[in-house]
Structure 1
């Protein structure tokens, strides 16, 4: 058998090609030499970067809400769960996870691609909502955030030099929350 690298995600097929049978993978999992993340995917160390694994396992998902807020620096502490938006047509079982702190929001939204932006995290491409879409989602789905997170989101956006108020108002109009957004922004600006 060939030596496998730590901190790398492997598919079961890759490990089979390297000489590890299904039985040996089961034994290694029991011995805690490897961690089974989900059916068909393994990692060799428990000290893994959760966000990097989420990007690899769910490349179609979009970072949203508190995950996007943290990415943009509006939140100081890492969220307990990574929030991702996923098209409603995707298999829900794929996103149920014991090893990763993941919260998937399945959207039947005709606006799921509105504000979609691709960025980079540790050399990997991630799908994430831009700042303006993230703030619109925070206002639309205020009930999903605690008061402190909501306040930090608005305050962080207002102080952000990369903000685009015109884009924010355009998104707010499309999402039918323009009055709400205008009231909130008037109070902060």
Structure 2
């Protein structure tokens, strides 16, 4: 059981599949839960008893087709200091997200064309230190410009200003993305004013 416990201490959570890959059965996980060493977060997902639950991990562990985006990505990239009260995720068009929506009321699902879904996908550490899928900051800027009508003006303006001052911005990548999303003219306007 030491390998299993070490894995969970390092990764904070474990799925049935990950336990099986390490040579442990669902029964082993069940026994550890009964003995009070593990806590079942939902079917097939466990963490060490008494640990702080990382909502980002819980949401993204539902599927490998979930990526944090929009206002949530702004927050994760320090482009906004406002903690989002709603988790924004993007999924490919045609993906059935109803099982996730049932589990989390505070979730905004954005459906993305399949050909555009993987653009700018990366990983970042959640506030609790776990790696989670998120769009990079350049893709996030494209997303909020596309959805600017639906975003609080103050959050939008602040994010754009912070992005253009950031040493981590990649203007070449931003232009490349803007062409794919057909918003190059808008992006260039912001670049002229803020760069």
* TM-score normalised by structure 1 residue count: 0.74
Two-structure CA RMSD over aligned residues (Å): 3.4
Instruction: Answer whether contact 1:59 1:126 (CA < 8 A) is retained.
Output: no
| Aligned position for 1:77 | 82
**Structure with higher helix content:** 2
| Uncovered stretches (5+) of structure 1, i.e. residues with no partner | 25-33
| 1:18 aligns to 2:24 (yes or no) | no
Aligned to 1:108: 113
Alignment of 1:94 with 2:99, yes or no, is yes
Q: Please list every run of at least 4 consecutive aligned residues from structure 1 whose deviation after the TM superposition is greater than 4 angstroms.
A: 7-11, 13-17, 34-37, 39-47
Deviation at 1:45, TM superposition (A): 6.7
Q: Which residue of 1 aligns with 2:191?
A: 185
Q: CA deviation at 1:176?
A: 1.1
For 1:19 and 1:102, the matched residues in 2 are separated by: 33
Shift of the alpha carbon at 1:168?
0.7
Q: Structure 2 vs 1, CA of residues 8 and 99 (structure 1 numbering), >3 Å: closer, same or farther?
A: farther
Q: Which residue of 1 aligns with 2:73?
A: 68
Q: What SS does structure 2 have at the residue aligned with 1:185? A: helix
Indicate how the Cα distance of structure 1 residues 9 and 48 shifts in structure 2: closer, same or farther if over 3 A, else same: farther
How far apart, CA to CA, are the structure 1 residues paired with 2:28 and 2:96? 26
Q: Which stretch shows the higher mean deviation, 112-121 or 164-173?
A: 112-121
Choose 142-151 or 87-96, whichever is displaced more.
87-96
Q: Secondary structure at the match of 2:79?
A: coil
TM-score (norm 2): 0.72
1:52 to partner: Cα distance: 2.2
| Gap change, CA 1:48 and 1:118, over 3 Å in 2 | closer
Label 1:94 to 1:178 Cα distance change in 2 as closer, same or farther (>3 A).
same
1:124 shift after superposition: 4.0
- Alpha-carbon contact 1:35-1:46 (below 8 Å) kept: no
Query: What is the alpha-carbon distance in structure 2 between the residues aligned to residue 9 and residue 63 of structure 1?
Result: 20
Q: Cα distance 1:159–1:97, how it changes in 2: closer, same or farther (>3 A)?
A: farther
Post-superposition Cα deviations, 1:99-132, rounded to whole Å, max 9, x if no partner, equal 4622111223421111112334456442211111
Unaligned runs of 5+ in 2: 1-7, 17-24
CA distance in 1 between counterparts of 2:52 and 2:104 reads 12
Greater shift, 48-57 or 94-103, is seen at: 94-103
